[in-house]
Amino acid sequence: MTLAIESFPDPNSQSLSHEKKSFTEEVPITSDNQYEEVADDDNYPDGGLRAWLNVLGALACGTATFGFVNSYVFQAYYTDTLLPHVSPSSISWIGSIQYALTFFPALFMGRLFDLGHFRIPMLLSSVSLVVATFLVAECKQYWHFLLCQGITIGISSGILFGPSLGCVVHWFKVRRSLAYAIVACGSSIGGTLFPILVRNLIPTVGFAWTMRILGFILLLLVGVANLTLRRRLPPIHVTGGLFNLRIFKDVPAYSVYTVACFISFLGLLTYIDSSATFYGIDDSLAFYLVAIANASSAVGRIGCGLASRHIGPVNVMTPMTAVAGILTMAWPYARSTGSIATIAVLYGMSSGAFVGLLALPIVSMGQIGDVGRRQGMLFSILAVGAIIGPPISGIIQTATGGYVAVGFYAGGSIMAAAVLLFATRFVLAGSLIGGMV
């Protein structure tokens, strides 16, 4: 992978000295008009050492947050070993709450980021993420796990992740799609690495030391993020408060896009491993299906990120989301090792396009100075879908005793999201075909 080495500034150039100055001096909060002059002057670096270091930091942050949260593979171990007296449905709330809370703090952090409050919240949440992971090793009762792993790790991840995307926006414009695609691979890296580590470490060193090793890995990742992530543009006071309802009226595309993303999260494919064992596939392969899907999603994130640079993110997301919906409906009929592994790979690639480009379209739906709040509002709404989607699928599976109905529910939700993404494209472009949106 090339990162446009020619764009790195000369160490003796004036641009680098100006860049360093912008990081060492306090920048006053500007008015809306002043910010517009700064943010819309097309002077984005779109490369250079500092810009790519922000991508590295956001990548590390994504690996430590969404990558770690996506690799929640403790359900069976808790049910069989640590918490045998607790019902599986209660244990599943640990992972569901953790995942939902990774989105929810974005509402507050997006607003704080726009106002310039970034460094201290990031440092404190980094500490709490690492400490909570170490504390999970000492947990004995259900509420211990719920508090440390479900709530604390979830909130800490949410505080970290949102502002990292905001930093990348400050540094890239032309190459923003590529930068976002690289950052989105953090979730794939973590979602592939952590399950494999857990699978192999617990039988070798035990659960407690497994969590401690994961804690040290997270310490390294958040350390890189704290050292490399920086703002470039000055903070700004924007009108509308914490949750700006006016944007849903003033920017129809944002409203339709938010609904599309919410509905897509209702159809999260979270039961691919359990369905594999249900149909008699070996446990060792079933465990790795999540890692296979996460690894495959990196291909979709990078490839579709590059494609969106030329045809627009919504134009890429719409067909790939439709493909993910079709694969989700086909998933319950994959009852052999080869077929379900194929579904995992193809679903990972198609869903990777959606996840990798998720935050990119809303950057163009308003001023850059308000991007943190717009992202925060979107992610907080997604948190509701993330927390109720898997339980709905679980209820359907319990009621029907199989996964076919779950596939049609989840796949239908994703297909509905694809239709709404096409509607978003129409609102943005003003036509059914043509236009880079």
- Class of the CATH domain delimited by 240-437: mainly alpha
**Rounded Cα gap, residues 410 and 351, in angstroms:** 13
Domain ranges of the chain: 46-237, 240-437
Q: What is the reported pLDDT for 222? A: 96
Quote helix, strand, coil % in the chain, to nearest 5: 75, 0, 20
Q: What is the reported pLDDT for 163? A: 84
Given this chain, do its domains 46-237 and 240-437 carry the same CATH topology?
Answer: yes
Q: What is the reported pLDDT for 10? A: 38
Contacts of 13 (CB under 8 A, 6+ apart): none
**Rounded Cα gap, residues 349 and 324, in angstroms:** 9
Under 8 Å between Cβ of 35 and 236:
yes
Q: What is the reported pLDDT for 240? A: 65
Tens digits of residue pLDDT in 124-166: 999 999 999 999 999 999 999 999 999 999 999 989 987 888 8
**Rounded Cα gap, residues 343 and 345, in angstroms:** 5
Check pLDDT > 60 for residue 232.
Answer: yes
Mean local confidence (pLDDT), 199-205: 92
Tens digits of residue pLDDT in 13-68: 433 334 333 333 333 444 444 444 444 445 889 889 999 999 999 999 999 998 99
* Architecture in CATH for domain 46-237: Up-down Bundle (1.20)
Answer yes or no: pTM beyond 0.75: yes
Contacts of 214 (CB under 8 A, 6+ apart): 68, 133, 194, 197, 198
